[in-house]
Amino acid sequence: MKEPALSIHLTTVPLASLIAGVLILFMPKLLNYIIALYLIIVGLVGVFGTRMFHLP
């Protein structure tokens, strides 16, 4: 069986970072909201772990 020559794997964090970066670039006022959302998500994952979000 032949393996694919190129395999692209997108994960959530780099994709979210890219989207957040583009939004901040075009709408700098969103910076506060994006940082606040990031800190809330990181805090929830830190307190409850990834089981709350059903992540592997």
pLDDT at 21 exceeding the cut of 80: yes
Cα(41)–Cα(10) distance, rounded to whole angstroms?
A: 19
Question: Which residue did the predictor score with more confidence, 54 or 27?
Answer: 27
pLDDT at 43 exceeding the cut of 60: yes
pLDDT at 25 exceeding the cut of 80: yes
pLDDT band, very low/low/confident/very high, at 18 (cuts 50, 70, 90): confident
Contact between residue 34 and residue 27 where contact means Cβ atoms under 8 Å apart:
no
pLDDT at 12 exceeding the cut of 60: yes
Q: Taking the model in full, what pTM does it have?
A: 0.53
